[in-house]
Structure 1
Amino acid sequence: MKKWMRWEDYVAGVCGLVAALSVIVTMPSTAAVSLMLVFGILLIATAVLNLSMPGTPWLEYAQAAFGVLLFVSPWIGNYTGTAGAAWTSWIAGLVAAAVTAAAIKPSIDTHRKMMPSH
């Protein structure tokens, strides 16, 4: 697995970017802004780290967790009534979690190949 080549991490990073930047357009509540910014930025950060360090399974799990947390954040932050913010969180979080889940097995396989055999 080569650095900067995994489409799944690019997609997860774009989902984080969409979530973080959508607070400008959707004008959500304070709780929604906080949650969308935090989870969006964390998705971007883990995507960049995953792209630069392929074969690091714990980063994949962290990225998947941030996607799931973004998905559930409308219920956590009680902004399900804010349609634009809620739908952005649900869609971006679900897409990020799904593409990251698809990337976990290849990441584990790469990690095992990189480990020295005994």
Structure 2
Amino acid sequence: MKAEMARWQDWAAVVIGVVVALSPIWVSTNSAARWSMIVLGVLVAVAGLANMMSPATEMVVWAMGVLGVLMFIAPWVTGYSSMMGASWTSWVGGALTLLTAMAALPEGSRMHIGHGGGLAAHH
């Protein structure tokens, strides 16, 4: 891997993932929150590293987006939404992961999402 080949989105995913995975050190958690944050954070960081190694693999970017959504909904799904520090870490980390994944999508994919009635106008 050449450093100049890594996009900012890949580095952002690694940083977001590491921060979320390590956040149980400084935010109050229960077992569900701790493991959700560690597992999802590590997976986001690994997705960022995988994208650095193989930037042409669009599937990794889509997986990162799914992980962002899972991270965002984790406080409600696993029952730690009342723990403000852990919840906000998951919500912000999930939203940033999803936005990062969207920014990492190749331009062609962004223009043709849902071909024939998709999200973007076709010219």
Report the TM-score, using the length of structure 2 for normalisation: 0.81
Unaligned runs of 5+ in 1: 110-118
State the one-letter code of the partner of 1:45: V
Q: Which moved more, 1:69-78 or 1:98-107?
A: 98-107
Task: Report the structure, 1 or 2, having the larger helix content.
Answer: 1
Contact 1:55–1:107 (CA<8 Å) still a contact in 2?
A: no
Q: Indicate the residue corresponding to 1:33 in structure 2.
A: 34
State the one-letter code of the partner of 1:90: W
| Higher RCO (CA-CA < 8 Å; seq separation 6+) | 1
Q: Which moved more, 1:100-109 or 1:16-25?
A: 100-109
Q: Which moved more, 1:11-20 or 1:81-90?
A: 11-20
Structure 1 residue ranges, 4+ long, deviating more than 3 angstroms after superposition: 106-109
* CA root-mean-square deviation: 1.9
Whole-angstrom CA distance in 2 between matches of 1:75 and 1:107:
34
Q: Which moved more, 1:62-71 or 1:100-109?
A: 100-109
Q: Indicate the residue corresponding to 2:43 in structure 1.
A: 42
Following superposition, the deviation at residue 107 of structure 1 comes to 8.3
Unaligned runs of 5+ in 2: 111-123
Number of residue-to-residue matches in the alignment = 108
Deviations 1:2-32 (Å, cap 9, x if unpaired)? 7642001111111111110101111201000
Following superposition, the deviation at residue 106 of structure 1 comes to 4.3
Q: Indicate the residue corresponding to 1:116 in structure 2.
A: none
Contact 1:56–1:107 (CA<8 Å) still a contact in 2?
A: no
Q: Indicate the residue corresponding to 1:72 in structure 2.
A: 73
Whole-angstrom CA distance in 1 between matches of 2:53 and 2:107:
15
1:1-118 matches, within 5 Å, as 4-106=5-107
Q: Secondary structure at the match of 1:26?
A: coil
Contact 1:56–1:108 (CA<8 Å) still a contact in 2?
A: no
Whole-angstrom CA distance in 2 between matches of 1:91 and 1:97:
10
Q: Secondary structure at the match of 1:79?
A: coil
Whole-angstrom CA distance in 1 between matches of 2:87 and 2:30:
11
